[in-house]
């Protein structure tokens, strides 16, 4: 296993220490889990962003289709 050295202020150190004791985890395990959860959060945000972009693209395409259909409403009715 590799080692990462982390410098932090006193407050964060105390928070990590207290939480690790409360959860009965080592500080290293707590930080590993926190990083994995953060990674999941970022992945979900990226998926959400992709879905939103796809939705916008579909909306634009739907608007184009509606406009095309509306332009054909009077087709062939000029002589009626």
Summarised one tens digit per residue, pLDDT across range 15-65 is: 999 999 999 999 999 999 999 999 999 999 999 999 999 999 999 999 888
Q: How many domains does the chain have?
A: 1
pTM above 0.85, yes or no: no
Is 61 inside a domain boundary? Answer: yes
Helices (H), 72-80: none
Query: Cα–Cα distance between 28 and 20 in angstroms, integer?
Result: 9
Domain assignment of residue 44, given as a range = 39-71
Is 80 inside a domain boundary? Answer: no
Q: 8: number of CA atoms within 13 Å, CB side?
A: 13
Cβ partners under 8 Å of residue 17, min gap 6: 27
Query: Cα–Cα distance between 28 and 3 in angstroms, integer?
Result: 10
For residue 38, give Cα distances in angstroms to 25, 44, 50.
18, 10, 18
Tokens of 46: 């990226």
Is 22 inside a domain boundary? Answer: no
């Amino acid at each position: 296993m590799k080692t990462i050295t982390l410098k932090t202020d006193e407050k964060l150190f105390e928070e990590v220490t207290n939480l690790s004791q409360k959860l009965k985890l080592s500080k290293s395990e707590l930080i590993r889990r926190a990083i994995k959860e953060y990674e999941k959060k970022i992945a979900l945000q990226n998926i959400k962003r992709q879905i939103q972009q796809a939705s916008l693209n579909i909306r634009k395409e739907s608007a184009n289709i509606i406009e095309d259909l509306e332009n054909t409403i009077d087709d062939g009715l000029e002589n009626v």
